[in-house]
Structures are given as structure tokens and as C-alpha cells.
Amino acid sequence: MSEPLILGIESTCDETGVALVRGDDLLADRTATSMDQYARYGGIIPEIASRAHLESVVPALDSVLEEAGVGLDEVDAVAVAAGPGLVGSLTVGICAAKALATAVDRPLYGVNHVIGHLAVDKLVDGALPDRFIGLVVSGGHSNILLVEDIATDVRELGGTLDDAAGEAFDKVGRLLGLPYPGGPHVDRLSQVGDGDAIRFPRGLAAGKDKERHRYDFSFSGLKTAVARYVEGAHDRGEDVSAEDVCAGFSEAVNDSLTAKAVRACRDTGCDTIIIGGGFSANSRLRGLIRERAEAAGLTVRMPPLRFCTDNGAQIAALGSELVRAGVEPSDWDFSPDSGMPLTQTWMAPASALVDEGAA
């Protein structure tokens, strides 16, 4: 008997994603982005993002159903991103998912899209390990997770105390006058710069902070150090090598991320690191984590670039894991949760919460 067919809908920020997943197989996915509309503003405009989702979700749905050669009534469950994200954008996807699930009378799962960044790897590398360390790196998150069961048991070991890695890259890009979004441009320049030319500080890496914040990150001070370096050079009338600044900055960020992910594996006895999120497209992160994992005898799994940014496949993948685990669907009245904690994989129904409390 074939595994259930899961429809996934993603609308947390500026990408509208719809996908169909059966087990560990991706049947079809479509992603529409409104990113190009924000260059003139230097950042996401929530109202524009919400309108873009309204325009894109039905065409994306029609496209994946046609590619997969299935009808909506053949879907066994619907999964939708419930958070974290922009409330208006989340609302569009949730309303669409509720309407579709109601129309075909199928169970609905409101899922954590950040955990989905890890779950999507199963569509590329096969079934997820029984337990692993998850390094989530995106525009708004830099977190280390201990995943005992991606459907029911995710623990947060640490995270950023201020800026996430992606945010820091975008801010440094703005500081250097690079186009929006700055992160990819900083990464591109870093590849031709000298990573040893400028030594920028590693946050929480010395003294008591090294142990007190064993799995935490701090990039705000690093961003300030870059600003002071650039300002100082300008005050002295010196030319600033944007390539060397980007390379030194990139090295500092990725040194922290990779060192602490490997440390988490050693401390917990895990032998696999799975990396997900938009920042996992960063070239230095991908290269450095492979080097360090190989030296430590660890396995690294990273989805290809097409799955780094938000997409419907990650939502359907996590939805399939929830169905496989036999957890109860979400109640129909759940609302968007812009600050959904990373230890909450889905919007558990009230009945499940009552049972857990009784236990």
C-alpha cells in the first residue's frame, strides 16, 4: 500500500510554495516569489507580500496537481505553515489550506516551517536519521536543535542572542552599499577576498561566555566591528577592500556556526548534522561544515540550493512525517503564530494538549 499523499502550502514571508509529497518522494512543487518587488524599499513590505500570496497560491496549486497527475480529492492530508512568519502572509496560506481541506474533507496540519527546513532533506537524501543535530540558519533564525524525532521531539540547544546569520549578512551588505538583499552579494564578494586579511571577533567564543553560551550565537557585535573597521579606514583616507571585508566577516560567522554544530554532535553522541534554511546556501558555510564534519567523523546533510529558501516541499515533507508518526491533526480554529517556538513542530489539537497534561 502506498504512503499518504500530502499537500503542502508555504506562505510565511515572500515565497508562495505548493508541493505534493508521498513518503520520501517529491511529486511536484512550485514556488513563486515577490522578492524583486522589495529592492526599492530595502526590505520586505508585509502588505505587498500578502497580496502576492493571494495572487499566486491558486495558480501554484493548479500547476502541481497537473504535474503530478492527481486530483485534489486524491490528497490524503493538507499541511500548511502556521509559523513563524509574517502574520498577514501566514493568514493567506492558512485560509487557503483550510478551504481546501474542508472541500475534500481531509485532515489539516498547521506545521512549523522552520522545522520544515530540516524535514525537506529527506526528499533528497532519503529517510531522516533516528536522531541528529539540526542547524537552522535563515534570515531570522540561527539555532542548534537536537532532533530525537522530527515529528514529536525537537529540543533547542541554543540560538542567536541578537541578529541571525542571514540578518547580519544583509546588514553588512547594506553597510557596504550592496544591492538588496545584501547577503548573496556579501557571499559572492567573500569568495574572491582574503579571509585572513581582517580578523573579526567571534561572539561568545572566549572566557565564561564560551561555556555559558555553549551553543548560542551573537552576531550583533561582529556587525558593529565591521562598521567600525570601514569607518576607521575611511577616516584615515584608506581604500576599503569590500572583498576582504566580506571574506573576513563571512569567516567569523561561519566559524561560529560550524564549530558549535560539531560541538553539539560530540556532546550529544549524534553522528549527523542536517542544515536547513536560506543561509544554508552560503558557500563558505557549505564548505567549512564539510571540512569540519569530515575531520570529526560526522555526516553532513544539506538540501540543494532550490530547497534552501522557503518552499512548499518542506511543508509537505514535515506534514508527511507527522502523518507517519500518527499524531492528531490540528484543530480547525488554529491561528497564525508569528513566534512559533522551534520545539513545537505542529499545532497540536486541544485534545492532545489535555492528554499530555493529564499524563
Residue 337 DSSP code:
-
pLDDT of residue 190: 98
In the beta sheet, which residues pair with residue 156? 145
- Our CA angle for 118, 152, 133, nearest 5°, is 40
Rounded Cα distance, 355 and 54, in Å: 37
Q: Considering only CA atoms, which of 136, 118, 144, 137 is closest in space to residue 262?
A: 144
pLDDT score at 354: 57
Give start-end residues of each CATH 3.30.420.40 domain in the chain: 5-120+308-358, 129-302
State the pLDDT at residue 270. Answer: 98
What fold does the segment set 129-302 form as a domain? Nucleotidyltransferase; domain 5 (3.30.420)
**Residue 355: predicted pLDDT:** 61
Distance, in Å, from the CA atom of 51 to the CA atom of 236, rounded to the nearest integer, reads 48
Copy the grid coordinates of residue 307: 530547497
pLDDT the model gives residue 1: 55
CATH of domain 5-120+308-358: 3.30.420.40
Q: Look at residue 39 in the predicted model and tell me its pLDDT.
A: 74
Tell me the three cell numbers of residue 62.
Answer: 493548479
Dump pLDDT digits (tens) for 126-170. Answer: 999 999 999 999 878 999 999 999 999 999 999 999 999 999 999
Report the chain's mean pLDDT, rounded to a whole number: 95
- Spell out, as residue ranges, where the chain has pLDDT lower than 50: 359
* Length of the chain in terms of residues written: 359
What per-residue confidence (pLDDT) applies to 351? 83
Indicate left, alpha or beta for 69 from its phi (over 0: left) and psi (-120 to 50: alpha): left
Neighbours of 328 (CB within 10 A): 15
DSSP characters for 42-96?
TS--HHHHHHHHHHHHHHHHHHHHHHHT--GGG--EEEEEEESS-HHHHHHHHHH
